[in-house]
A and B are shown apart, each in its own frame.
Chain A
């Protein structure tokens, strides 16, 4: 039964449903074999262990950046430098792994830690610029993302290039690589770290003093200042932590079994996706897990469909777009909700009269 309590969940599911429906209609319009394409899209990810593994692999980086963005946006900072943090995190982890020559266990830990620190540093740049010069974080962070791309490419070429391969680094040594947990898949330890990050992120925002301060500053800066909160410090901290998580995500991604060398010559877009996820989950880090899973499923399905039929990958963009639009459209299904609410309230009033 749909009631006022589970309504939000219902609305979310329903908007996903509508978005899928729209995509199906488009598939019918453009495809020669629409039914097969849709079957591939919907059931493809479940059809083999490898496909299922693909879903999980795609989910991992999304959870990291999603959680990072939830924390950064909670302070009301439209800082998009997560993308750059993720990218640089990948590079720095690769560099540490390749150049330091540390023993197993220690090597990946140090590499990922360095990636996190670097990511934190990167997202804090727009915050510092804003605090010191008043520059809008939205613009400066967008610019910084391009810088991160070319900076990473430069550092890779300069320090860890494999002369034999062109635009890629030397192979990541075995001592640093994160191996698959389950044989036959590429699911690695990152999945546990990612879920841990989302859970800790949730605890951080909603159960710690620092998280409380971030939310106060994000919702009303004047109120936070009046309450005695050091607004500048809080903004800075929130951006550091968001970037830290994104950087860790980048580091884990590059050390995982998907990549054997650092070969990212364009931005991977996980920072953008994180904004989508953050919007879907209303800044609640815990919910980034199902949201990332869903997005990963959709993408895996779409890429299977693109491989096996005449429908292109871009169909996912449409589905995503519709879901986001419906998620932010507060008034969607409002009339229906109102009816539910009214009915319950009137029932209560009647009961009150009887008593």
Chain B
């Protein structure tokens, strides 16, 4: 049983239409019933390899051997029929349909062969959700679901179709630690039931926790497969990057500046009238990082949207650099030197079909540096784009390439480069390192700290608690639209404690109170 190879890939090469060699020579094999990790930096070719396996891309060269027989997988329908399922890095859901409809999509139960049987669809979706203990309302439209819940729908969709080999491309990037733990419990169960799982993540501790073996990729080549129990985290990262990684995050101890962000009695409903924020208040001073923790959907997203001017339907007071933001447009707020790294990079963070260059200046094209009264200064934009590309290690052929062609982590780098290159005074960063590899994550974190040290006020929303703890000066925990815990000292604070606040088990009396 141990050495029962269910699938092997041999010398896979993939060249994309624009000439990018995404996979140069990749080989590895999967044992039945294992959780196999794929590790590599952003742009190493992990997603590409998985798309080949799932029939979305055709390999240029190489062999796929499934259960001892060489096969070609022409499209994902074939992949599904061979028992291969995939949870994509970016969501592949139909936003206007309900979760249930999305889950059964492609294998829809029919009434008399023609009519979609909604009731059975809902029943089956509920069944599969409860089998795997996914807590989700399947009747909700997908567009109203939080990112974490969307991820669950994606996983259920693959399971519903009976995936024997389940590919998971960074499934935990959008999950909170609790959700990740829950997912791992489910993965263990799947494993017991004989499912084989390919698991992609940039978080090495997760790999350590859940995976049996790991194949490491570097610049489109496989660098070998290792037993996870026999290799240290340091070795893994050395193999991925090709060199040791050492960046220390140093916070200066300068006195705090004046209040840059001031929120009082904030209340807000979402467009459906659900109370999302129920009276919160806080201050952020220049030179500090306020971390906001919370399970997805407890109001953090709304706070970010209100602060950045994208959502106006609120009561209470929000001031940025002393100015009431209620009458200000997004642009006017940005002109107060506020930068915003958005949560959903594909939906609002970039225009995939425009070039990297065009995407790098959407927040500053009208500044005097890059334009006159009417005209853009393309030369200056181009040279600046080259600088940013180097500084932020964006892996691409050229800056004229469309952003949509980049790997997930590199898209995130483009967004970070754009938002952090404007010398901001206030930074609202929502999951800034989501899906970014270790090296680049460290870099982005370092930039956040640098700005803090230079006197900027930073609000950091992150599902990654260790990131929150290492960066934040203070941490606020949000639960059901309220701040239920405010920690002005992060030293010695335990992830478990924050976790309990996030789940509403613990809460401080002065809920939503502002400290002196």
Contacts and interface: CB of A to CB of B under 8 A. Distances in A.
Tell whether A pairs with B: yes
Nearest to A338: B17
Interface residues of B, number: 39
A162 interface: no
A346 B487 CA distance: 56
B135 interface: no
A222 B342 CA distance: 11
B375 interface: yes
Interface in B1-28: 15-21, 24
Interface string B319-334: 0000000000111111
A32 interface: no
Nearest to A344: B19
B60 interface: yes
Interface residues of A, number: 29
Interface string B425-451: 000000000000000000000000000
A139 B316 CA distance: 42
A345 B21 CA distance: 7
Interface stretch (A78-86, A124-132, A202-210, A253-261): A202-210
A219 B354 CA distance: 7
A268 to B, nearest CB: 33
B374 interface: yes
A229 B330 CA distance: 8
A338 B59 CA distance: 11
Contacts of A223: 347-351, 362
B400 interface: no
B386 to A, nearest CB: 19
A212 B365 CA distance: 9
Nearest to A222: B348
B334 A341 contact: no
Interface in A187-206: none
A337 B17 contact: yes
B195 to A, nearest CB: 34
A226 B15 contact: no
A342 interface: yes
B127 to A, nearest CB: 35
Contacts of B333: 228
A209 B375 contact: yes
A317 interface: no
A235 interface: no
A342 B15 CA distance: 6
A225 interface: yes
A216 B375 contact: no
B358 interface: yes
B96 to A, nearest CB: 15
Contact of A228 (B24, B330, B358): B330
A220 B350 contact: yes
B340 interface: yes
Interface in A216-264: 216, 219-220, 222-230
Interface in B348-398: 348-354, 358, 361-363, 365-366, 371, 374-376, 378
A313 B403 CA distance: 45
A210 B365 CA distance: 10
B329 A209 contact: no
Contacts of A284: none
A6 to B, nearest CB: 14
A219 B353 CA distance: 7
B116 interface: no
A345 B16 CA distance: 9
A230 B17 contact: no
A341 B17 contact: yes
Given A212-B365, A220-B350, A226 B342 contact: yes
Given A4-B19, A209-B365, A225-B330, 13 more contacts: A207-B376, A208-B375, A209-B374, A219-B351, A219-B354, A226-B308, A226-B348, A227-B330, A227-B362, A229-B331, A230-B331, A341-B17, A348-B19
28 contacts: A4-B19, A207-B378, A208-B374, A209-B374, A209-B375, A210-B374, A215-B358, A216-B358, A220-B350, A220-B354, A222-B347, A223-B347, A223-B349, A225-B310, A226-B340, A226-B349, A228-B329, A228-B330, A230-B329, A230-B331, A338-B17, A341-B15, A341-B19, A342-B15, A342-B60, A345-B15, A345-B20, A346-B15
Interface of A: 4, 207-210, 212, 215-216, 219-220, 222-230, 334, 337-338, 341-342, 344-346, 348-349
Which 8 A-B pairs have CB atoms at the shortest separation, nearest pair first?
A228-B331, A227-B362, A219-B351, A220-B351, A228-B330, A222-B348, A226-B348, A345-B15
